[in-house]
Amino acid sequence: MWSALKGRVSNRLARHFRAAPHRLPAHAPMVSFTFDDAPDSAAGEGAELLERHGGRGTYYLAGSLIGRPSEYWHGLSDDAIVRLHRAGHEIACHTFSHRSSATLDEAAMAREIERNRSHIHGIDASIQPQNFAYPYGIASVWRKPQLARAFRSARGILPGVNSGIIDLQFLRASPLIDREIDTAGIDRYFNDAVLSGGWLIFYGHDVTDKPSPYGCTPHLMRHALEAAAKRNMPIVTVAEALQRIGA
């Protein structure tokens, strides 16, 4: 109970403290599509849709879920990871075990980071993950500075557009999840991004006609990709976006 409370408080504090502030330069808006865990359909249909629209995605992988079945999907295979990497998609990190950062002390987090990196490295030695996403979107005020030393950025699931002064260690991301958003909601985020000249990041999991509670249909994803095209917004990986904003 106490530790659950501590975790919640730490997550809340993480929004405001120990930030890695970065002022977004006056910039044309851009969008990133990210997938967590990641299901094989994100590497299949998801990647295909992105590529057809001239974009690439960022895949935040937990080594322990790669190639494994779970409640809602089958984890992507080693071969799929290599294919994504060679096609220009970004391979990035969750924790290895998918444990929340709020439950890990410094030594445990260090082991998670090391184990995940070496697992991914073992699949293809040319993959060098640079970015992190908090499992369950739960940040920790204590782990933020540690993650900042290990990765260029950390992404949460706090919705909204990243604009003005952004926190590189708690990037905002909006759901690409049928249960949480519809096409009108997606359009609103795109309009906000155009108005603010900001960086819009979507997060999701599976991409399939009958998605899990955490995934989307190809229809919803296609809508988002076409919304980007209509507004001439480049579809870039998180690594590419960071380069563009000089972070």
- Kindly state the tokens that stand for 171: 């990037």
Task: Please provide the distance, in angstroms rounded to a whole number, between the alpha carbons at the two ends of the chain.
Answer: 38
**CB 24, min distance to Zn ion, A:** 26
Would you say 86 or 179 has its CB closer to Zn ion?
Answer: 179
Q: Which residue is nearest to Zn ion (CB)?
A: 36
- Looking at the Cβ atoms of 36 and 90, the one nearer to Zn ion is 36
As measured in angstroms, the least distance from the Cβ of 36 to Zn ion is: 4
The CA distance from 204 to 39, in Å, is: 10
The rounded distance, in Å, linking the Cα atoms of 16 and 11 is 10
The two tokens of residue 204 are 């999701």
Nearer to Zn ion (CB atom), residue 37 or residue 90? 37
Nearest residue (CB) to Zn ion, 84 versus 233: 84
| Total of residues contacting Zn ion (CB under 5 A) | 3
- Rounded distance, CA 107 to CA 215, Å? 32
| CA pseudo-torsion sign 170, 242, 39, 159 | positive
CA–chain centroid gap for 16, Å, is 20
Encoded amino acid at 95, one letter: T
How far apart are CB 205 and Zn ion at their closest, in Å? 7
Give the sign of the dihedral formed by CA 111, CA 114, CA 118, CA 121.
positive
Give whichever of 36 and 206 is closer to Zn ion, judged by the CB atom. Answer: 36
Is the bond preceding residue 42 a cis peptide, omega within 30 degrees? no
Closest CB to Zn ion among 64 and 191?
64
State in angstroms the smallest separation of the CB of 234 from Zn ion: 26
Please report, as residue ranges, which positions from 128 to 187 form the binding site for Zn ion (by CB under 5 A). Answer: 135
In the three-class reduction of DSSP (H, G, I as helix; E, B as strand; rest coil), residue 174 is classed as strand
x/- map, 23-52, Zn ion, by CB under 5 A: -------------xx---------------
Site for Zn ion contains 206 (CB under 5 A): no
Interface positions, 90-129, toward Zn ion (CB under 5 A) = none
Q: Which residues bind Zn ion (CB under 5 A)?
A: 36-37, 135
